[in-house]
Amino acid sequence: MNNNKVQNPEQAVPKNQDMNDCDYLNDILTTEKNMSNNYSIALNEVSNDQLYNELFKIFSESKQCARDLFNLSFKKGWYKLEKADANKITTELNEYQDKINELPNQ
């Protein structure tokens, strides 16, 4: 057993050419991620405040939907994560801290 994996027990799904619940959930999650990315681009481009506010509501709903889909997929064991190595976290943190320190003081 790999101690580096973070996941729940996987719910079994049929392994054949037909789409199963896991396939559908992954497809919908990918769609939600892409939609929210596109809404984010639109929010950067829109100049009308009313339209911005409406798009922002839809963007927020899309992000929440994606989060809910991720949580469901993780709960069913279909989304696996890997624990980050502590040394790698420290290295990345130090690199970003160095970059921040290089910025001119405001």
Q: Is residue 81 in a domain?
A: yes
Q: Is residue 4 in a domain?
A: no
Q: Is residue 94 in a domain?
A: yes
Q: Is residue 68 in a domain?
A: yes
- Among the ranges given (5-14, 15-24, 54-63, 93-102), the one the predictor scored with the smallest mean pLDDT: 5-14
Pairing mode of beta strands 81-82, 5-6: antiparallel
Domain that holds residue 28: 19-102
The DSSP result for 52-66, as a single string, is: HHHHHHHHHHHHHHH
Q: Full-prediction pTM beyond 0.85?
A: no
What CA–CA distance (Å, rounded) separates 6 from 33?
A: 22
Q: Is residue 5 in a domain?
A: no
Reported as a single tens digit per residue, the pLDDT across 18-52 is 888 999 999 999 999 999 999 999 999 999 999 99
Q: Is residue 12 in a domain?
A: no
Considering its fold, how many domains does the chain have in total?
Answer: 1
What CA–CA distance (Å, rounded) separates 106 from 101?
A: 12
Q: Is residue 82 in a domain?
A: yes
